[in-house]
Structure 1
Amino acid sequence: MEALPTSLCHMVAMPFPVRGNINPMMNLCKLLVSNNSNIHVSFVVTEEWLSFISSEPKPDNISFRSGSNVIPSELICGRDHPAFMEDVMTKMEAPFEELLDLLDHPPSIIVYDTLLYWAVVVANRRNIPAALFWPMPASIFSVFLHQHIFEQNGHYPVKYPENGDKRVCYIPGISSTRLADFALNDDSNRSKQMMQYFLKGFEWIHKAQYLLFSSIYELESQAIDVLKSKLPLPIYTIGPTIPKFSLIKNDPKPSNTNHSYYIEWLDSQPIGSVLYIAQGSFFSVSSAQIDEIAAALCASNVRFLWIARSEASRLKEICGAHHMGLIMEWCDQLRVLSHPSIGGFWSHCGWNSTKESLVAGVPFLTLPIYIDQPFNSKMMVEDWKVGCRVKEDVKRDTLVKKDKIVKLVHEFMDLDGELTRDIRERSKKLQKICLNSIANGGSAHTDFNAFISDVMHL
C-alpha cells in the first residue's frame, strides 16, 4: 500500500446511515477539504446509500467508499426502525474494518458518528486516532451523559401523561425542562431500545481523541462548559455544518435548476408572507395529523410552501389547486429559508433544519416527533424564544385539530402582531450571533481551525 505524503491527512468518515446524519457529516467533510487541500476524505456509506448519493456534487478530494451491504433496503427506508437499528449496531463493524484494508492509503484519523461505537473499537484496535462527531445539540449530549441522574430521581422511564409535565433542572448545563421534552425518556419499547444504543455509544467516548459538536458555542454555552469541565478529550464546537450557501445570501440561482419554479413562485410572494412546512425525512406525524394540517392550511388563506415527500401527491388531492400554496416532494431547504418571502418555518425540529433556520433568521412553529426533536423544540420556544409550539400537551397521540391550527397560523404569520414581532426580532438577533460565530475570528471558526491544525499534526 502506497503511503500518503507526510503533508497529507487521509480522513475516513463513518456517518450513521440515515439522511439526517449523512448530511452534516458530508457538510463537515466539505468544509474541511475546502479549508485545507491536504485533507483527503474517504466517505463510507452502505451500498444502498451509495446508490442514493453517488451523483451528488462533492469536491475531488472526497471519495465515496462502500463495503458489503448488510442492511436490507426496506430497513434503510425506515419501515422497520427497530430492525434497522439492530442491523446498524450489530452487522456493520466487520464490513467497515474490511473496507479499511481496501483503501488506497492508511487512515490518518477516523471521524465517526457517536452512535456507531464499533467504529472507535476498530480505530483503537488499529491504533488509528478517532474523532467523535455528535450531530445533535451539545445539550442533548449532556442529557445522555447524565442519564443516570434521571434514574436516581425516579424519572426514568417517564410515565405518560402522568408526570410528563413535571419540570426538572438537575441535569448540569440544562435549564428547567419538562420530563416529556427529554430524549427517549418514555417507557415505549422502541425508546428503551434506542436509549440502550445511545448509552452503549457513550460508554466508548473516552476512547476517542477528539469530540466535535455540530453547534455554536453561544447557543449552548452552559452545556458546553459543563462538558468541557467533565470530559478529558478536546472539545471543538465547530459550527452548524450546513451547506456553504448559508453565507451566500444574494445568489439568485437554485442549486437544482430543474426545480427553479418554486424559487420563481417565492419571488412573486410578499416579503415574510410564506409559511415553509417540512416534517423531516425519517420519522413522520400520523396521516390523521397531516390531514388536519392540510385542512387548516386550505382554510387559513395563509401562503405556504409544503415539502411533503411521499405524501405530496395525496396532499395535492386534498388541497386541490390551492392558489395560496405550493406542495412539493423536495426543495433546496436552506435556499428557501433564506428567501425574503419566508416568514416562518413549521418544523419537526430536527437539528439540521433547526441550524439552517437559525442561520437564516426564520422563526419556528414546532411540532417535534422523536429523539432530540422535543428538546430542540424546548430550546427554540423557552431558551431562545424564537418559536411557538403547535402542540402544548405531552400526550403523544393527541391530534392538533384544524381550528386550533388555523388560529395559530394566523397569529404566527401576522407580521404586525405583538407575539410575532418579538419572535422575529429575536430570530434576527440569533441569526447575527450565528453568523458572527462562523465568521473569521468567531468561536466556531476558531474551533474549526484548531481541529484542522490538530489533525494535520497527527
Structure 2
Amino acid sequence: MASSATACRHVVAVPYPGRGHINPMLAVCRLLVAADDALTVTVVVTEEWHALLASAPTLPDRVRFATIPNDVIPPERSRGVDHAAFFEAVSVKMAEAVERLLDRLVLELEPRPEGIVVDTYLTWGVAVGARCRMPVCSLWTQPATFFLALYHLDLWPSGDDHEHDEELSTKSMDRYVPCLSSVRMSDLMVFSRWKRHMKITAEAFVNVRKAQCLLLTSFHELEPCAINTTAELLPFPIYPIGPAHVPPDGNTGRIQDEEHRDWLDAQPEKSVMYVSFGSYASMPRSQFEEIAMGLLDAGVKFFWVARDKAPELRQMCGDRQGLAVPWCDQQEVLCHPSVGGFLSHCGWNSVLEAVCAGVPLLAFPVAWDQLVNARMLADEWKVGIDMREHRGQDGIVSRAAISDAARKLMDLDSAAGQEMRRRAMQLREASRGAVREGGSSHRSLSGFLKDLAGGVLEVAKSSR
C-alpha cells in the first residue's frame, strides 16, 4: 500500500503519557509510515518516556521523537500515588508544554505538519491543534463499544444507591445505550464514584466532537454494531484501522529471548497458560497468591510475566510447573504454538493481541474499559471466561474457582474448551483479513491517508 509520492509530508502524534496509550500510538505511527513512504511522524513524549522507549522495538526511521520536559507531569513510577495530581498535570501543565513545542515544530518542520494525531483523553488536543491550524485526528486506544458508552454519558442512569452490585450485574446497558447488550450496568456504574476522572472524561467527549476525524485501533469485524453506530453519530469520518501491531500474515517472528524460547519450545502444543496483568495494573497480594495456587492445583503449566514479583513467584512455585519472568515480548509469546490460554487483566491492547493470536482468555479485569472488555470476550465473542463472576464477598477469586476455570479453558478435549478455541481462531482469521490488502482496516487506512493528503480533513471554525 506504500505510496509512490516523493514529496515529504509531516504529521505530529501526541499520545497520552501511559504505556497502554503510547504503545498503540506508536503502532499506529508504524502503520502510517509503512502505508505512505512520503510521510514522517514526529511523536511528542516526555524526556522520561523517551528514555523508557529506548529499549522498545526499533521504530522506522520516519517515526521520530520530540520531547517536552519531565517536570510537566509526575514521573511514571509514582503516577499511581496520586491519580488526581497526575490527571491535573496532564490536563494543564502538559497542555502548555505541548503547545510551546508545536509552535516550534510548525516553524522548524519543512513542509509544515499537515495534521496532528492526538489521544482522545487529552482534553486540550483539539484546541491546540486548531490554534496551530492543523486538522486533529483523535485516536481512541480502547474498544469502540467503550467509546460509545462514554459518548453517551448523559444517557447513563443516575443509579440507585439501594441497588447492590449483584442486581446491577443482571441489567444490560443496552436499554440506555445502543450496542451495549453484553455490557452490564455494574461494569460502568462503579465509575460514578470517580468524580475527578469522570469529569475529565466528560470534557474529553465534549471536545472530541470538534475533531476532524476519529481513528480506532479496533476493526469492523470485531465490533460492527459499535463502529457503525459511532459512524452515524459523529459529524466527521471515522477510520477503524486495527489491529495495528500485527503484520497481515500474523508472523511476529522468532522469540528473541533465549530462555523464553527454549522453555516454550520444550512444552506441548497449546499446553501453556500465559499470565500477564499489563504494565500498570496491580492486585492484592492475596489474589496474587490465589492465582498461583489455583494454577498449580489445576496442573496447568504457565508462563507468567510477574514484573518485580518474578523472583518471589519462582520461590513460591518452583520450576516444576512454570516460568516466571519480569518481562517478555507479549505478542511473540502469545503466537508461540505451546501457548493455549491467556490469563489477563484485559487491557484493550492485550485483548487485541490475544484476538490476533487466536488465544482464549481467562479475564481478571481491574478497572475502566477492562470490565467492558472482559464482558465482551466472555459473553459476546465467547472466547473466554470472566472471573469477575466468581468473586467472593471479599472481592477475591478463590484458588478453587481459578483452578476449575483454568482446567476448562485449557482442556483440549472438552466441548467448552473446543468451542472457545474455535471462536478464537475465527477472530484471528478476521483480524488478519482486516489488515490484508482489500480488507476493512486496509481500506480504512488508505482512505484516511488519502483524505489527509487531499485536505479533506479541514479545521472547522467551531473547533478554533
**Is TM (by shorter chain) over 0.5?**
yes
Q: Does 1:108 align with 2:114?
A: yes
What is the aligned counterpart of 2:412 among 407, 410, 415?
A: 415
Which residue of structure 2 lines up, in the alignment, with residue 297 of structure 1?
295
SS of equivalent residue, structure 1 residue 312: helix
SS of equivalent residue, structure 2 residue 244: coil
- How far 1:437 sits from its partner (Å)? 1.1
- How far 1:393 sits from its partner (Å)? 5.2
Which residue of structure 2 lines up, in the alignment, with residue 60 of structure 1?
61
Q: Does 1:317 align with 2:315?
A: yes
Q: Measure the CA separation in 2 of the matches of 1:298 and 1:203.
A: 48
Q: Measure the CA separation in 2 of the matches of 1:317 and 1:85.
A: 37
Residues 158 and 227 of structure 1: is their aligned pair in 2 closer, same or farther, counting only changes over 3 Å? farther
Residues 202 and 392 of structure 1: is their aligned pair in 2 closer, same or farther, counting only changes over 3 Å? same
Q: Measure the CA separation in 2 of the matches of 1:6 and 1:123.
A: 26
Residue 221 of structure 1 aligns to which amino acid in structure 2?
P
Per-residue CA deviations over 1:337-386 (Å, capped at 9, x if unaligned) read 11111111111111000001101100011010111001001110111011
Q: Measure the CA separation in 2 of the matches of 1:206 and 1:30.
A: 26
SS of equivalent residue, structure 1 residue 437: helix
Q: Does 1:391 align with 2:388?
A: yes
Residues 250 and 142 of structure 1: is their aligned pair in 2 closer, same or farther, counting only changes over 3 Å? closer
Which residue of structure 2 lines up, in the alignment, with residue 167 of structure 1?
171
**Following superposition of structure 1 onto structure 2, how do residues 230-241 of structure 1 map, counting pairs within 5 Å?**
230-241=233-244
| Structure 2 runs not aligned, ≥5 long | 456-464
Residues 382 and 30 of structure 1: is their aligned pair in 2 closer, same or farther, counting only changes over 3 Å? same
SS of equivalent residue, structure 1 residue 131: strand
Q: TM-score, normalised by structure 1?
A: 0.92
- How far 1:88 sits from its partner (Å)? 1.1
Residues 296 and 176 of structure 1: is their aligned pair in 2 closer, same or farther, counting only changes over 3 Å? closer
SS of equivalent residue, structure 2 residue 124: helix
SS of equivalent residue, structure 1 residue 41: strand
Which residue of structure 1 lines up, in the alignment, with residue 273 of structure 2?
275
Residue 125 of structure 2 aligns to which amino acid in structure 1?
A
Q: Measure the CA separation in 2 of the matches of 1:28 and 1:9.
A: 16
Which residue of structure 2 lines up, in the alignment, with residue 327 of structure 1?
324
Equivalent pair of 1:158/1:186 in contact (CA under 8 Å): no
Residue 129 of structure 1 aligns to which amino acid in structure 2?
P
Equivalent pair of 2:392/2:398 in contact (CA under 8 Å): no
Which residue of structure 1 lines up, in the alignment, with residue 187 of structure 2?
181
What is the aligned counterpart of 2:148 among 142, 145, 163?
A: 142
Residues 396 and 331 of structure 1: is their aligned pair in 2 closer, same or farther, counting only changes over 3 Å? farther
Which residue of structure 1 lines up, in the alignment, with residue 85 of structure 2?
83
Q: Measure the CA separation in 2 of the matches of 1:43 and 1:351.
A: 21
- How far 1:186 sits from its partner (Å)? 3.4
Q: Measure the CA separation in 2 of the matches of 1:311 and 1:98.
A: 40
SS of equivalent residue, structure 1 residue 204: helix
Equivalent pair of 1:358/1:431 in contact (CA under 8 Å): yes
- How far 1:313 sits from its partner (Å)? 2.0
Which residue of structure 2 lines up, in the alignment, with residue 381 of structure 1?
378
Equivalent pair of 2:123/2:200 in contact (CA under 8 Å): no
What is the aligned counterpart of 1:196 among 171, 194, 199?
A: 199
Residues 363 and 316 of structure 1: is their aligned pair in 2 closer, same or farther, counting only changes over 3 Å? same
Q: Measure the CA separation in 2 of the matches of 1:124 and 1:54.
A: 31
Q: Measure the CA separation in 1 of the matches of 2:131 and 2:160.
A: 35
SS of equivalent residue, structure 1 residue 177: coil
Residue 447 of structure 1 aligns to which amino acid in structure 2?
S
Residues 48 and 397 of structure 1: is their aligned pair in 2 closer, same or farther, counting only changes over 3 Å? farther
- How far 1:113 sits from its partner (Å)? 0.2
Residue 144 of structure 2 aligns to which amino acid in structure 1?
A
What is the aligned counterpart of 1:125 among 128, 131, 136?
A: 131
Residues 173 and 162 of structure 1: is their aligned pair in 2 closer, same or farther, counting only changes over 3 Å? closer
Per-residue CA deviations over 1:27-82 (Å, capped at 9, x if unaligned) read 00011111111111110001111110134311111111111221122565533322
- How far 1:230 sits from its partner (Å)? 1.3
Q: Measure the CA separation in 2 of the matches of 1:203 and 1:157.
A: 27
Provide the alpha-carbon RMSD of the alignment. 2.0
Which residue of structure 2 lines up, in the alignment, with residue 225 of structure 1?
228
- How far 1:91 sits from its partner (Å)? 1.3
SS of equivalent residue, structure 1 residue 7: coil
Equivalent pair of 1:164/1:180 in contact (CA under 8 Å): yes
Residues 443 and 243 of structure 1: is their aligned pair in 2 closer, same or farther, counting only changes over 3 Å? closer
- How far 1:390 sits from its partner (Å)? 2.0
Which residue of structure 1 lines up, in the alignment, with residue 437 of structure 2?
440
Which residue of structure 2 lines up, in the alignment, with residue 13 of structure 1?
13
Q: How many residues align?
A: 443
Residues 157 and 450 of structure 1: is their aligned pair in 2 closer, same or farther, counting only changes over 3 Å? farther
Q: Does 1:92 align with 2:77?
A: no
Q: Which moved more, 1:74-83 or 1:38-47?
A: 74-83
Q: Measure the CA separation in 2 of the matches of 1:53 and 1:159.
A: 45
Residues 87 and 158 of structure 1: is their aligned pair in 2 closer, same or farther, counting only changes over 3 Å? farther
SS of equivalent residue, structure 1 residue 167: coil
What is the aligned counterpart of 1:360 among 353, 357, 378?
A: 357
Residue 21 of structure 1 aligns to which amino acid in structure 2?
H
Residues 396 and 86 of structure 1: is their aligned pair in 2 closer, same or farther, counting only changes over 3 Å? farther
Q: Measure the CA separation in 2 of the matches of 1:396 and 1:202.
A: 35
Equivalent pair of 1:75/1:83 in contact (CA under 8 Å): no
Which residue of structure 1 lines up, in the alignment, with residue 428 of structure 2?
431
Q: Measure the CA separation in 2 of the matches of 1:158 and 1:48.
A: 46
Residues 131 and 147 of structure 1: is their aligned pair in 2 closer, same or farther, counting only changes over 3 Å? same
Which residue of structure 2 lines up, in the alignment, with residue 453 of structure 1?
450
Q: Measure the CA separation in 2 of the matches of 1:53 and 1:427.
A: 31
